[in-house]
Amino acid sequence: MAEKNEIVADVCRKVKGSSREIVSLFCEIVAFESGDKFDLTKKLSDDEAADLANHVADRLKEKNDVGAETLKMQARFHSAYAEELENVESMHRLKQSAMDELRQDIVKMKPTSETDFETISMLHRRIFSFLMLAYDEKLSAVEREVAAAMESVFPRAGLKSFVALSVSDKSNQLMELFNIVFGIRLFNKEVGKGGVSIDNVPQNLLRDCASLTAKLEEETRAAMTQITSTTDAACFVAQKLSEGDEETMNQRLGRVKMELIHRHQYYHFLSSLLDEINATVANAEEMHERYSKQMKDLTTLVGGRSSVPKDQVYPKFDILAATWMRLDALWQTVKAFERIFKCLQSYKEPFESIFAGNDIDADAVMGASETSLLPEAGEEAADENTSAMIVQIKEGEEVPVPALHGFCPVSLVEQRGLLRRGQTDKGMVLNEQSLYACVDDNAQRLLVRNPTKYTAGVLSVVKDLPQLVHLLRLDANFPSLSVQRALANEPVKTYSHRPKMVDADSQTPTQ
């Protein structure tokens, strides 16, 4: 008897270079397509497990299979997204754990008497080690600067009053010291008198945000151009097929539909990443402005003076460090998005496009998507119980998100899986609390007259095209084909990238 995870491991051994998350999704899809032959909710017999593993391995080994490549992209994007962001969090947790462990050790230390110099010296060394946790590189210049800042803020003579505090007060004072010392080093870096090994995070963050935004915008535009040309090709082939050129066009239509699904999925993932980075940019710019103001206030306060009242300057060092740490948390996230983007790009076009050979002439198909491929809505009786209606979006109102991710259900059904974006400027069709966008007025009329035909028809189409489950957001209708469900029990990988600092108050990783 074998469980799914054992079957996944078996396939990974058979297909070199395959990842568990991709194999896991393919197991679910092959099981779904087989009907009741493979029930992954329970253990399979050894023969059933071997049979399923062979089917999955064969599917994964197929070359130039656009549908398989789309499924691989869906599985890998979601797993990479989870892995990268989890890695940022897990590296923070590791650093936080190290800080918590040393902090607990420090607050529990108590000299037996005022003359217990050995314990007092050890306490001083451990507090210094605690402050050095901020830096991966233990350079002598860093150690000297930290030691000087520590002596200024928390001189050795102050240890006697420190050990008399409660555990809670000791812990709070340690974190305040941590931030003040780091804030001093940030200021020293700003004025050119120290700060060795501290990255210019505020500047690096804005630089990397701008760079990644530009790359994503360019790639998104290119992806949309490909979608337009591929849609034209699909409509051109479908039109030729309807004119009777069945022998040469039928196979091409299936191929170009699959390419169109792949390109839409790629574009959707790009768009979601672009949305993420745009939100991060807004946050980064606001926080960068805050940091710059804090640094300017410090520079104005300190100026060229040899001394400044501690109760005025120390809180500013503390706040400056906390802001820098939050900026670094954003920077780590942006770098994670960059790695996710690179992973996604590897699935951009892992197949030979139909445009690559002589199958389709790009110039000949240009504009073909402007031709309607749908039957005219006649005067036939509508569904007896239909309550579907066309609703208009008033000017200035936010356009609601349509069902099926905005794709036209009529096109999907009439052309068996042909993806065409619906238009919302002339309204949408409301049916059973769901709004649908259609390619044109005729499609709207068809859907209003017979909504059941098209809503049920979409589900029928998707049964044959599992790549559409995720793209059309139909996971609830096909739970066994859900990418998230298929990956739910797969372990999240870790990476070697490690953040350098922790804001203990906000639990935010920083550099």
What are the Cα distances from residue 265, in Å, to 274, 430, 471? Answer: 14, 25, 6
Write down the residue that tokens 């096109």 correspond to.
411
Token reading at 35: 């009907």
Work out the average pLDDT over 303-312.
Answer: 82
What pLDDT does 364 receive? 67
User: Using a CB cutoff of 8 Å and minimum separation of 24, what contacts does 294-299 make?
Assistant: 294/319, 294/320, 294/323, 295/186, 295/187, 295/190, 295/320, 298/187, 299/187, 299/190, 299/191
The neighbouring-strand residues paired with 407 are: 421
Give the 3-state secondary structure of residue 452: helix
- Virtual CA dihedral for 419, 425, 431, 436, nearest 10 degrees? 20
How would residue 177 be classed by pLDDT, with cut points 50, 70 and 90? very high
What is the Cα–Cα distance from 156 to 454, expressed in whole angstroms?
78
Report the amino acid identity of residue 126: R
Single out the residue of 502, 508, 497, 511 nearest to residue 103, CA to CA.
Answer: 502
Give the 3-state secondary structure of residue 289: helix
What is the Cα–Cα distance from 23 to 20, expressed in whole angstroms?
5
Domain ranges, ordered by start, for the chain = 1-62, 109-191, 201-346, 383-465
What pLDDT does 79 receive? 93
Intra-chain end-to-end CA distance of the chain, in Å: 49
Phi and psi torsions of 182, nearest 5°:
-70, -35
Token reading at 158: 């102050």
Cβ contact 468:417 at 8 Å? yes
Per residue in 440-456, pLDDT tens?
999 999 999 999 999 99
- Whether the pLDDT of residue 192 is over 70: the answer is yes
How would residue 503 be classed by pLDDT, with cut points 50, 70 and 90? very low
Write down the residue that tokens 């809503």 correspond to.
455
Work out the average pLDDT over 279-288.
Answer: 96
- The burial of 229, by beta-carbon neighbours within 10 Å (0-12 exposed, 13-18 middle, 19 or more buried), is given as buried
DSSP, residue by residue, 299-329? HHHHTT-S---HHHHHHHHHHHHHHHHHHHH
What is the Cα–Cα distance from 65 to 42, expressed in whole angstroms?
30
What is the Cα–Cα distance from 71 to 62, expressed in whole angstroms?
13
What pLDDT does 504 receive? 34
Containing 389, the helix (H) or strand (E) segment is strand 389-391
- Whether the pLDDT of residue 71 is over 70: the answer is yes
What is the Cα–Cα distance from 89 to 509, expressed in whole angstroms?
7
Per residue in 20-31, pLDDT tens?
999 999 999 999
What pLDDT does 381 receive? 56
Single out the residue of 469, 380, 459, 394 nearest to residue 428, CA to CA.
Answer: 394
| CA 497-503-506 angle, 5° bins | 110
Token reading at 369: 């998507």
What pLDDT does 115 receive? 78
Burial profile 109-148: b = 16 or more Cβ within 10 angstroms, e = fewer: bebeeeeeeeebeebbeebbebbbbbbeeeeeebeebbee
Strands 434-436 and 428-431, how do they pair? antiparallel
Per residue in 313-337, pLDDT tens?
999 999 999 999 999 999 999 999 9
Give the 3-state secondary structure of residue 101: helix
Q: H/E/C letters for each residue in 413-445?
A: HHCCCCCCECECCCCEEEECCEEECECCHHHHH
What is the Cα–Cα distance from 422 to 409, expressed in whole angstroms?
9
Mean pLDDT in the chain? 88
Top-confidence range, 14-18, 305-309, 337-341: 337-341
